[in-house]
Amino acid sequence: MVTLCASDLLVLVDIQNDFCPGGALAVADGDAVVPLANELARRFHAAGGGVVLTQDWHPPGHSSFANSHPGAKPFDAIQLDYGEQTLWPAHCVQGTRGAEFHAGLDVPMASLVVRKGFRPGIDSYSAFFENDRRTPTGLAGYCRERGFARLFFAGLATDFCVAYSAEDAARCGFASVLLTGSSRAIDLHGSLEAAMARLSAAGVTVVETV
């Protein structure tokens, strides 16, 4: 077991209705992460560490939605200004129930919600950068100012927003840990294997739990 401390931060990624069963972009078994996330948050808080939530927050007609591109289908890939973009079913639209956190998520100790994907022309998987890999969300600065040095990631989905967040945390100079037991994957066209390879190359520690 890892000994948690005040310089540890738990980042719970996109535990929202649209990524859970019945949602517009449901991850298989996605709601199973909810009680696990709650328990992790309590443990981090008890150790003096921090808890942060991320929230996909797309405007209607977002460029990553398949229905924004005539003739396109969900899970097609297209080229946008910043590179290849997977097209998704419309999901986590601002102000809708699908964008809300799962009702069972009980983390009142969370000190920050990072909303991402709110720019109409660019998607955002990572909690740190938009998909151009340059435009920051401000999370890195928050972590540095709060003194968080080791960041742990869990939530939805392992191979997209969780993995990109963990990878970027390492790029930003933080010790980064992805918790597979408290995350669930989409695994689209081998995306889980590709994500694990990127994480290994970036120096991210991948474990089941802490």
CA-atom Rg of the chain in angstroms: 16
SS3 180: strand
The single-letter code of the amino acid at 159 is: D
Per-residue confidence band for 173, with pLDDT thresholds at 50, 70 and 90: very high
Indicate if the pLDDT at residue 1 is higher than 80. Answer: no
Q: Give the DSSP H/E element, type plus range, for residue 50.
A: strand 50-56
- Candidate list 8, 14, 56, 159, residue with the active-site label: 14
Both structure tokens of 71: 């003739």
Residue 203: exposure state from Cβ atoms within 10 A (0-12, 13-18, ≥19): exposed
Marked catalytic residue, from 123, 143, 161, 168 = 161
pLDDT score at 6:
98
* 116 has catalytic annotation: yes
CB-based contacts of 6: which residues, under 8 Å, 6+ apart?
Answer: 47, 48, 49, 147
Catalytic residue among 20, 116, 123, 168: 116
Give per-residue pLDDT as tens, 26-61.
999 999 999 999 999 999 999 999 999 999 999 999
Average pLDDT over all residues of the chain = 96
Per residue in 95-138, pLDDT (tens digit) is 999 999 999 999 999 999 999 999 999 999 999 999 999 999 99
Does 161 qualify as catalytic in the annotation? Answer: yes
Q: What's the pLDDT at 29? A: 96
Burial class (CB in 10 A: 0-12, 13-18, 19+), 67: middle
pLDDT of residue 2: 85
Instruction: Give a three-class secondary structure readout of 28-71.
Output: CCHHHHHHHHHHHHHHHHHCCCEEEEEEECECCCCCCEHHHCCC
Helix (H) or strand (E) holding 144: helix 139-146
